């Protein structure tokens, strides 16, 4: 029995260790979807509830991560990120929204295609998103909008979006990507509903400004935010509490921005 069980356990542990990290983690995507749901127009909410079920954009927010290894949409792995080189000019970063770099992921290209598809249009024939039901299109739009504002999903190409940057979190080995996907959010101890409500109270006064920003402005701000995270890695003293104190509020604002922009997008579609 041990000859069978031990190898199986070892294989399981290895597979879990090698799994790719997920953008924002499950709680992060639910926080974003919850904020968005609270800010949908009545008609939009009725429409998306009809497609995905009541509050379905929250419950299905993590589905695109869950099916990465499935054969249903086998090319969807690199839809979740658009990595950049360090030290780029603002204009070069903005160009990625329309030029779609050949390297570093397909997040921006896929988002544009999904929006065209959900509105009933057709891509220019060079699209990479296959035909899919409206429910699946909506699930991807909800999820990938969150990824759009995750700093480690617009991070550096040479370290795979922070996946090769090792660091310790309360003495345990982890990676920069995981810290921003999961650890910082979990360090606050809220449920996703509590976190969403707190962020709406805390940052609600900025909603009008966030809605008025262009996609170009938001992308450049996100890029500079990510560069600041990398710069901090070179001076950080290794104290996890110091890291949380420095970054938990900037992270929270990103979550809020993602939720408000998702609501704006869905309100414009439906």
Question: What pLDDT sits at residue 68?
Answer: 87
Beta-bridge partners for 201: none
Residue 175 forms part of a structural domain: yes
Residue 218 forms part of a structural domain: yes
DSSP state of 156: B
User: What average pLDDT does the segment 128-157 reach?
Assistant: 95
The answer to whether residue 216 scores a pLDDT higher than 60 is yes
Q: How large a percentage of the chain has pLDDT more than 90?
A: 85
The answer to whether residue 11 scores a pLDDT higher than 50 is no
Both structure tokens of 71 = 């054969």
User: Total structural domains in the chain?
Assistant: 1
Taking the C-alpha atoms of residue 244 and residue 231, their distance in angstroms, rounded to an integer, is 16
Residue 114 forms part of a structural domain: yes
CATH of the domain at 157: 1.10.575.10
User: What average pLDDT does the segment 121-139 reach?
Assistant: 84
Degrees to nearest 5, angle at CA 17 with 193 and 148:
45
Q: Return the closest-CA partner of residue 143 out of 73, 227, 214.
A: 73
Residue 7 forms part of a structural domain: no
Question: What pLDDT sits at residue 22?
Answer: 58
User: What average pLDDT does the segment 259-263 reach?
Assistant: 98
Residue 181: domain span: 21-269
Residue 4 forms part of a structural domain: no
3-state helix, strand, coil in the chain (%, to 5): 65, 5, 30
pLDDT: which is higher, 44 or 5: 44
Residue 92 forms part of a structural domain: yes
User: What average pLDDT does the segment 206-210 reach?
Assistant: 98
Residue 8 forms part of a structural domain: no
The answer to whether residue 15 scores a pLDDT higher than 70 is no
Both structure tokens of 267 = 């309100």
Exposure string for 52-65, b = 16+ CB within 10 A, e = fewer: beeebbbebbbbbb
Residue 128 forms part of a structural domain: yes
At 229, the pLDDT band (50, 70, 90 cuts) reads very high
């Amino acid at each position: 029995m041990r000859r069978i069980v031990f190898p199986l356990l070892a294989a399981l542990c290895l597979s879990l260790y090698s799994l790719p990290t997920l953008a924002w983690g499950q709680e992060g995507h639910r926080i974003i979807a919850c904020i968005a749901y609270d800010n949908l127009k009545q008609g939009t909410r009725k429409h998306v509830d009809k497609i995905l079920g009541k509050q379905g954009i929250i419950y299905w927010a993590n589905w695109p991560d869950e099916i990465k290894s499935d054969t249903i949409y086998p090319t969807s792995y690199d839809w979740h990120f658009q990595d950049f080189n360090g030290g780029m000019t603002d204009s070069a970063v903005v160009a990625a929204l329309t030029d779609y770099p050949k390297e570093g992921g397909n997040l921006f290209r896929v988002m544009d295609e999904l929006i065209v598809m959900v509105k009933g249009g057709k891509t220019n024939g060079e699209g990479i998103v296959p035909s899919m039901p409206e429910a699946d299109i909506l699930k991807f739009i909800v999820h990938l909008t969150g990824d759009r504002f995750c700093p480690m999903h617009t991070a550096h190409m040479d370290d795979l979006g922070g996946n090769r940057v090792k660091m310790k979190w309360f003495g345990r080995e982890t990676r920069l990507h995981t810290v921003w996907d999961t650890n910082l959010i979990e360090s606050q101890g809220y449920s996703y509903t509590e976190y969403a409500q707190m962020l709406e109270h805390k940052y609600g006064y900025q909603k009008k400004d966030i809605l008025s920003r262009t996609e170009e402005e938001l992308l450049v701000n996100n890029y500079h935010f990510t560069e600041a995270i990398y710069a901090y890695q070179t001076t950080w003293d290794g104290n996890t509490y110091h890291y949380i104190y420095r970054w938990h509020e900037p992270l929270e604002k990103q979550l809020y921005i993602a939720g408000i922009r998702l609501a704006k997008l869905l309100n414009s579609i439906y």
